[in-house]
Amino acid sequence: MVKPGSLPFDEILYCNIGNPQSLGQQPITFFREVLSLCDHPSILDKSETQGLFSADAIERAWQILDQIPGRATGAYSHSQGIKGLRDTIAAGIEARDGFPADPNDIFLTDGASPAVHMMMQLLIRSEKDGILCPIPQYPLYSASIDLHGGTLVPYYLNEATGWGLEVSSLKKQLEAAKSQGITVRALVVINPGNPTGQVLGEENQREIVEFCRKEGLVLLADEVYQENVYVPEKTFHSFKKVSRSMGYGEADICLVSFQSVSKGFYGECGKRGGYMEITGFSPEVREQIYKVASVNLCSNISGQILASLVMSPPKVGDESYESYCGEKEGILSSLARRAKTLEDALNNLEGVSCNKAEGAMYLFPRIELPQKAIKAAEAVNSAPDAFYCRRLLNETGIVVVPGSGFGQVPGTWHFRCTILPQEDKIPAVVSRLTDFHKRFMDEFRD
């Protein structure tokens, strides 16, 4: 145990994990009302319930129960998830994209992670199978490729162009992998980016689709931050919408889109809900995907319900509509302000440069570490970025993740900092970080 008063700070400021509700973000009321009612349907027709829950939440709970065979929220569902909920999600995707979506293409999962594992399990036959992955990347991908015995084929995002994804780099890495006898089977794209926070432009997405189509790669689109865009000049476009708007259909490209209830403005990480939408696969392959999904029976029903709710929130005229919009806008506009404040603060630090947080929940600033600091890190057997982050934690209580956890261009140093501390804590993050950085540079400046 640490002795009280022995540390130079009075609270830990967690900027390390994309876990908003752990830092005080409140859940969206309508979503929780519906979940609560579906968990205990016998209160639905009691008079007290009207006083406790909004009318549209009660109505939605009835609708959902009617979609569940026998209204049994405690039963295993179809291994792809409850059909009625998949209908709702497909309708939500259609409304988002303006292109048709098929409920039979939806697989509901316990968050996006198991869906990613499922696809890796199916794509990777041996270490001779490669998956193109961005660097820096959310380490779920490297872990999953490792666990399934495949080879990660890296492509670097270009920090100088705001973490741009360059198709020339994809091509180069694909050829290099081929020359080593690796069969590249899929491309992972995280948009909006984790840990890098960029939002891809539509023209760039078209190039990526064209590349995957030509090379016969499965496009694994991590789109879990689709609701998290903070700059007016950028919009989220799903890869399915982009490929369909290019005239490409089922026969042209294999696409998987991952979505999660853990992110967005709802941040329901603990509910473990999510889905993947798969298109372009042959019936034989789809059957194998279904077989793997069915080994674990089904994903949790509350998570399934929540996935349907995030894709089909209250509408104009519903009792909850205004409060829902208020909660949503409150969270998103606050996240946008926090992103901007932290970005500016980081760019004000000596030797630090930080791309715009266009989306997601993260900033990934680059630090030019003095040679003296790099040597001091070596002396304690630490990576220089980990050395910086540990000093930051010990002196300020701010927790961030060293860039080496995500991968970075060799010789460059970064850390990932979430934008998730509640807004009243942001000034403390900024001032403690600024003071620390100044002291650090004073100590180690070459």
Chain residues binding a copy of itself by CB under 8 A are: 17, 19-24, 27, 29, 32-33, 35-37, 39-40, 42-43, 46, 48-49, 51-53, 69-70, 72-77, 110-111, 113-114, 117, 121, 140, 143-144, 147, 262, 267-272, 292, 295-303
**Checking DSSP bridges between strand 362-363 and strand 13-14, what pairing results, if any?**
unpaired
Nearer of residues 162 and 270 to a copy of itself, judged by Cβ: 270
Closest listed residue to residue 120, CA positions, set 105, 111, 130:
130
Q: Smallest distance from the beta carbon of 73 to a copy of itself, in angstroms?
A: 6
Q: Smallest distance from the beta carbon of 375 to a copy of itself, in angstroms?
A: 31
Our measurement of the distance from residue 122's CA atom to the centroid of its chain's CA atoms, rounded to an integer in Å, reads: 22
Q: Smallest distance from the beta carbon of 352 to a copy of itself, in angstroms?
A: 29
Nearer of residues 37 and 217 to a copy of itself, judged by Cβ: 37
Q: Smallest distance from the beta carbon of 332 to a copy of itself, in angstroms?
A: 17
Q: Smallest distance from the beta carbon of 166 to a copy of itself, in angstroms?
A: 29
Q: Determine the angle formed by the axes of helices 112-123 and 140-147, rounding to 10 degrees.
A: 40
Nearer of residues 296 and 371 to a copy of itself, judged by Cβ: 296
Nearer of residues 42 and 179 to a copy of itself, judged by Cβ: 42
Distance CA 91, CA 97 (A): 10
* Burial classification of residue 257, based on how many CB atoms lie within 10 Å of its CB (0-12 exposed, 13-18 middle, 19 or more buried): buried
Q: How many CA atoms lie within 13 A of 331 on its CB side?
A: 24
Nearer of residues 71 and 286 to a copy of itself, judged by Cβ: 71
Q: Smallest distance from the beta carbon of 424 to a copy of itself, in angstroms?
A: 15
Distances (CA, A) of 105 to 48, 277, 291, 370: 40, 5, 14, 52
Cβ 392 vs Cβ 400: under 8 Å: yes
Nearer of residues 44 and 376 to a copy of itself, judged by Cβ: 44
Q: Smallest distance from the beta carbon of 43 to a copy of itself, in angstroms?
A: 5
| Burial letters 324-334, b for 16+ CB under 10 A, else e | beebbeebbeb
Nearer of residues 63 and 434 to a copy of itself, judged by Cβ: 63
Nearer of residues 53 and 436 to a copy of itself, judged by Cβ: 53
Q: Smallest distance from the beta carbon of 143 to a copy of itself, in angstroms?
A: 5
Cβ 340 vs Cβ 144: under 8 Å: no
Give strand ranges (E) for 318-397.
352-353, 362-363, 366-367
**Can you list the pairs that 437-441 forms with residues at least 24 positions away whose Cβ atoms lie under 8 Å?**
437/349, 437/350, 437/352, 438/350, 439/395, 440/373, 440/388, 440/391, 440/392, 441/350, 441/351, 441/370
Distance CA 359, CA 305 (A): 26
